[in-house]
Amino acid sequence: MTDAIRISGLNKLFASPDGGTVAAVKDIDLDIAAGKLVTLLGPSGCGKTTLLRMIAGFEEPTSGDIFFGDRRVNDDPPNRRDTAMVFQSYAIFPHLDVFENVAFGLRLRKLPTAEIDERVNRVLEQTGLGGYAKRSPSQLSGGQQQRVALARCIVMEPKVLLFDEPLSNLDAKLREQMRIEIRELQQRVGITSVYVTHDQVEAMSISDEIVVMNAGRIEQRGTPHEIYARPASRFVADFIGKANFATVTVVDGGTLRIGGVEVAVPDLRGLEAGAKAEVVVRPEAVRMAETGQGAFQGTVRRAMFLGNVAEYLVEIEGIGEWLVDVANPAEAHMIDVGAKVVLTPSPSSVHILPDRERLVGRPASSRPGRAG
């Protein structure tokens, strides 16, 4: 029923206004197993939407192939690909009521009226739109419109479901609720899905796998856990969550020197003594205290109470500024700006970035990461 997707050697060049060309997608190879939900994650302009639109058939690849199962779909126009897409703007037909919006594709297939009624009503129930069949789209809230767009796709029982930043127009609370609904629905119907988003939390919460894209290329692909805990590059580490970086020197088989301090680390990825590398440490993997023993000495430069955590910007001697998260700050007291603190990174969370060549020419001091 549902199809695996295979993409090989895919390129998309756009003509740029100055007469040249701009590559939006470069040499993408990607396999998506049947029934999985894979997220394309990246900043705007990274090519994720272009890739999705090529899968849907709205953009013509400059070169490369797209397969659904064994069938090459490059030459199929969008209306014959049997995908169903949830658009960023929902793209609900404003002149049709909810029922007719959902029935649109089924009517095109010229199914018997009774079957259309049965399928549409079932999907409307599934998506919580049971009482809204005769409503006009303009009478619906944002979340309900989102559900109509989703129902319109699900009812088709397509080979592939495509999502183009479907939640970006909703407010934060609704976004959280809808992504749970989308994930549950997708797992229940088991249709292969490609989901485009620039929101890393959204990507992590709904995906079987995440494909991080940057400048038209795939930076890394993996489960949410792999992407977060073992980023393949500084870009990925920086884009997914917040990250602290530091340049390190390998001392021996189990020890790194960070900012003049030796720290025991279990996995050195086979680096030899004397080698230089760059490491990532997540803010929540650093233990901080005002007194006692610690690996580093630092001074608090900024303190923010965020409810579930307190986020501190700490200047560490010999390294630079790091972000440190302290859980459950409501119970403890906030540390004042200017206070002297000691910090200890959790050894198993010190992740060495594999791309050592990227280190060349980078200043020794690191900078605090930014929110994804």
CB of 49 to another protein, least distance (A): 11
Residues 102-161 that bind another protein (CB under 8 A): 104-105, 107-110, 149, 152, 156
Taking CB under 8 A as the binding criterion, the range among 58-66, 194-202, 290-298, 316-324 that sits at the site for another protein is 58-66
| Gap between the Cα atoms of 226 and 32, Å rounded | 17
Q: Which residues contact 300 (CB under 8 A, 6 or more apart)?
A: 312, 313, 314, 335, 336, 337, 338, 339, 341
State which residue, 81 or 282, has the beta carbon closest to another protein: 81
* Distinct helix (H) and strand (E) counts, the chain: 8, 20
- Neighbour-count burial for 143-159, b at 16+ CB within 10 Å, e otherwise: bbbbbbbbbbbbbbbbb
State which residue, 28 or 162, has the beta carbon closest to another protein: 162
> 303 phi and psi, to 5 degrees?
-135, 125
Give the dihedral sign, CA 47/178/148/83. Answer: positive
Q: Is 173 in the site for another protein (CB under 8 A)?
A: no
Q: Is 89 in the site for another protein (CB under 8 A)?
A: yes
State which residue, 36 or 152, has the beta carbon closest to another protein: 152
CB-based contact 203:168 (threshold 8 Å):
no
Give the dihedral sign, CA 156/87/203/59. Answer: positive
Token pair recorded at residue 196: 């485009």
Q: Tell me the site size for another protein, rule CB under 8 A.
A: 34
CB of 131 to another protein, least distance (A): 18
State which residue, 53 or 282, has the beta carbon closest to another protein: 53
Angle at 360 between CA 357 and CA 364, to 5 degrees: 125
State which residue, 56 or 261, has the beta carbon closest to another protein: 56
State which residue, 108 or 330, has the beta carbon closest to another protein: 108
DSSP letters, 335-356, are PPTT-EEEEEE-GGG-EE-S-G
Q: Is 72 in the site for another protein (CB under 8 A)?
A: no
Residue from 60, 65, 252, 317 in contact with another protein (CB under 8 A): 60
Q: How many CB atoms lie within 10 A of CB 287?
A: 15
Residue from 91, 251, 309, 339 in contact with another protein (CB under 8 A): 91
Q: What count of residues does the chain have? A: 372
Q: Is 98 in the site for another protein (CB under 8 A)?
A: no
State which residue, 62 or 349, has the beta carbon closest to another protein: 62
Q: Is 100 in the site for another protein (CB under 8 A)?
A: yes
Taking CB under 8 A as the binding criterion, the range among 76-84, 193-201, 210-218, 323-331 that sits at the site for another protein is 76-84
Q: What is the Rg, in whole angstroms, of the alpha carbon atoms belonging to the chain?
A: 24
Footprint on this chain of another protein (rule: CB under 8 A): 15, 56, 58, 60, 62, 75-80, 83-85, 87-89, 91-97, 100, 104-105, 107-110, 149, 152, 156
